[in-house]
Amino acid sequence: MRVTKLIRLAAALCIAAPLAASAQTSAATKSTKATLARADVRELPADQQIIQALSRLTFGPRPGDVLKVRSIGLDKWIDEQLHPEKIDDSAMEQFLAKYSVLHADQNDLLKDYVVQQRERRQAKRDRADTTKANAMDDAAMQQARQQANSRRQVVTQLQSSRVARAVGSNRQLQEVMTDFWENHFNIYAAKGAPEPYYLVDFDENVIRPHALGKFRDLLEAVAKSPAMLFYLDNARSMADSTRPTLAGSGMREAGSGRPGAFGGIRRPGIAGMLGGMRRAQQVQRPVQQRQRQGLNENYGRELLELHTLGVDGGYTQQDVVNVARAFTGWTIKPPAQGGGFVFRPQVHDAGEKVVLGHKLSAGRGMEDAEDVLDILARSPATAHFISFKLARRFVSDSPSKALVDHAAQVYLKTDGDIREVLRAIITSPEFFSQQAFHSKVKTPFEVVTSAMRALDAQPDSTPRSAQVIAYLGQPVFGHQAPNGWPETSDAWMNTGAILNRINFGMAAAAGRLPGVNISAVPALDTIQSAPREKQVDAVVATILNGMVSPDTRAVLLSGEHPLLAGSAEREAGSGKREAGGDGMSATDSAEAGMTSQPGDEAVNARLARGKQNGGGKRAALQGRGLGNIPQLNGLTQIVGLALGSPEFQRH
């Protein structure tokens, strides 16, 4: 019986997407001209248009946002959000002053990292020396522990600030687009020791400023970012020994200002190969020690498949190889020198290349990769792939061909202007269609941030909100593979996920979500002692925007959720296990997702077990992340059930 109800709930969460896909399949037969002719046709009533815009272009409405947008005018509000530089966000900027990492210079961060690495190696040598090990006092041991925690603190501040901005920034569309691009250009924080330090610059200076600019500018900023160069191993990619290089010839290393070591373009002989290997080791030692030297195709492959053309973008394996060759020499300065981008001509493959039918002449340097970025940014395949992903994010899991084609045309016409492509999508008939309305399931990041906004919570400067997101399955900067987190509802909806989301709603209502105070939420602050039916009406209006199914309303009125029935018996059988039944609390999950290395089989096995088990036990929220959840009743119970309802889980 319970399984049947679970299936019904899953269907309630996901049913809108198939309906949208079906309706949009027929729409796909219409031409782009017809789409343009329908540019002013909006199926949704005026207030639902506002709700749709607030649901998709922000991380969820706050109390009073619907009235605010109505008074401004929806189209004017959308235009304001498309120009975040004109929106006052001083309160958020003042809040961000709490994060020391965000305001630190990358040079200083990496120099501190170098000092810590040196001291850590010395401590390791001292521990190997029994005499010195015995002489180490408690203060020295404490210092060593503090140094070990430094990297984790960088990650923690990055995660916390991402969540805080999503909750509190007035520049909501910029934050949504920052989330979109940081998933599109995914980077795993636990790739290696320096990565978190590079990610500070990646978030602050690479993605955020370019989120609504020209795609070509964004693409180059990412390509030159130490975070991406390190993550996809391009920092250690160099010309194979059989290839000609730019071994000096008076060229200066871009970013360093010093000349190369040799003159002319040549194929290195045996002596040159040995010298090149020694130089390569010097170049790469700060980034990745003891790795195989030579060409690395990782970035070239992902640049084509994930960042630009898409898997069906018409490229070949030889294109992957030649793109990788074009990017040889794009690397990173040693951490002691600040870790910034540098082009090293002595390891660049200077041979002729052909990329997607375009010939790149021999004897060139950085121009090879710059031309590749131009080719890819101008490609119709890239225009289509980026337009499809944006339409999938903002409209539906299966956007219509007509909409994607129209957005791709705008991309090509405006030279990849992200703002104008996005404007074409979010002012389209498809965006304001009945099929798109409430058709997408929220990701864990969206669930937590939208709940905080719905409950009028202030931004959280602690790690707790980010830990809750990790508990729900989406640790910030915690996706190991370069393809990023799933962007469609089916990937987030399973038995464990549904139960975890319901339990999260109860925990949030119980005050276990930082900054949440139910009694202070506007429109809920005056009904603490009102009859239950009146309380339900207020919660539906405030948190669910007035939209509720008969089944959900019955649950809110009765206080009995079919999936929580019998939870006490399940908890009793689970013992002290947490977060998916594998002994991991929300905090443990977050820390494991950020600190595990690809070779750490024990940690990865624990994470894998957690994903397989899927959670589902109420005990999962009883760990360090949210604390013990009391038995709820009255208004708080109604709020908790509303946050776990299908209506709130979709947007």
Note the pLDDT tens digit of each residue in 457-481: 999 999 999 999 999 999 999 999 9
Cβ neighbours for 372, distance < 8 A, ≥ 6 positions apart: 323, 326, 327, 355, 360
Instruction: Indicate if the pLDDT at residue 610 is higher than 60.
Output: no
Q: Can you give the three-state secondary structure of 278-298, one letter per residue? A: HHHHHHHCCCCCCCCCCCCCH
- Whether 155 contacts 594, CB under 8 Å: yes
Closest CA to 80 of 201, 212, 208, 242: 212
User: What are the helix (H) ranges across 185-316?
Assistant: 195-201, 215-224, 226-231, 270-284, 298-302
| CA 564 to the chain's CA centroid | 31
Q: State residue 337's pLDDT score.
A: 85
Task: Compute the C-alpha angle 371/376/379, nearest 5°.
Answer: 125
| Least confident residue range of 77-91, 136-150, 261-275 | 261-275
Torsion of CA 378, 384, 385, 387, to 10 degrees: 100
- The arithmetic mean of pLDDT across residues 155-175, rounded, is 97
Classify residue 650 by its DSSP letter.
B
pLDDT band of 5, cuts 50, 70, 90: low
Q: What percentage of the chain carries pLDDT values higher than 90?
A: 63
For the chain, what percentages of helix, strand and coil (3-state, to nearest 5) are there? 60, 5, 35
Residue that has been written with the tokens 């399949």 in this structure: 25
Distance between CA atoms of residues 148 and 142, nearest Å: 10
HSE toward the beta carbon, residue 301, CA cutoff 13 A: 10
Closest CA to 394 of 434, 344, 432: 432
pLDDT at 494: 84
Element holding 593 (H helix, E strand): helix 586-595
Q: What is the pLDDT of residues 29-61, one digit of tens each?
A: 343 444 444 456 899 999 999 999 999 999 999
The span from the CA of 166 to the CA of 450, in Å, is 9
Instruction: Give the C-alpha separation, 165 to 167, whole Å.
Output: 5
The yes-or-no verdict on residue 274 having pLDDT over 80 is no
pLDDT of 609 higher than 80: no
Q: How far apart are CA 24 and CA 76, in angstroms?
A: 28
- Residue 595 structure tokens: 């600190």
19 with 437: CB under 8 angstroms? no
Q: Which residues have CB under 8 Å from 68's CB, separation 6+?
A: none
Spatial separation of the C-alpha atoms in residues 287 and 265, rounded to whole Å: 26
- Residue 169: both structure tokens together: 């920034």
Structure tokens at 499: 């139960």
How far apart are the C-alpha atoms of 580 and 503, rounded to whole Å?
A: 13
pLDDT band at 630 (very low <50, low <70, confident <90, very high): confident
Helix (H) / strand (E) element for 540: namely helix 532-543
Instruction: Give yes or no for a contact between 616 and 495, defined as CB atoms under 8 angstroms apart.
Output: yes
Write out the two tokens for 569.
């018996």
Nearest 5°: phi and psi at 252? -100, 150
> Which uninterrupted H or E stretch holds 539?
helix 532-543
Selection from 236, 392, 390, 382 nearest residue 299 by Cα: 236
CA 523 from centroid of its chain's CA atoms? 33
Burial string for 218-235 (b: 16+ CB within 10 Å, else e) reads bbbbbbbbbbbbbbbbbb
- Structural domain boundaries of the chain? 2-77+396-426, 90-133+145-231, 234-378, 444-649
Task: State residue 281 phi and psi, 5-degree precision.
Answer: -65, -40
As a whole number of Å, the CA-based R_g of the chain is: 27
How far is 295 from 284, CA to CA, in rounded Å? 13
The stretches of 43-137 forming alpha helices (DSSP H) are 46-57, 65-72, 74-82, 90-96, 106-128, 130-135
Predicted confidence (pLDDT) per residue in 353-391, tens digit: 999 999 999 999 999 999 999 999 999 999 999 999 999
- Predicted pLDDT at 106: 76
pLDDT in tens, 471-515: 999 999 999 999 999 999 889 988 788 888 999 999 999 988 898
Across residues 426-432, what is the average pLDDT?
97
Q: pLDDT tens digit string along 80-131?
A: 999 999 999 999 999 999 999 988 887 778 877 887 777 666 666 666 665 5
- 523 closest CA partner among 456, 575, 574: 456
Q: What is the pLDDT of the chain when averaged over all its residues? A: 81
Q: How far, in Å, CA of 282 to CA of 272, rounded?
A: 15
What are the φ and ψ backbone dihedral angles of 542, each rounded to 5 degrees? -85, -45
Q: What distance in Å separates the CA atoms of residue 48 and residue 42, rounded to the nearest whole number? A: 10
Res 331: pLDDT = 97
For residues 397 and 637, give the distance between their C-alpha atoms in angstroms, rounded to a whole number: 32
pTM for this structure?
A: 0.82
Min mean pLDDT across 146-155, 233-242, 347-356 is at 146-155
Give the pLDDT confidence score for residue 264 in this predicted structure: 38
Point out the least confidently predicted range of 195-199, 358-362, 395-399. Answer: 195-199
| 545 — pLDDT class (breaks 50, 70, 90) | very high
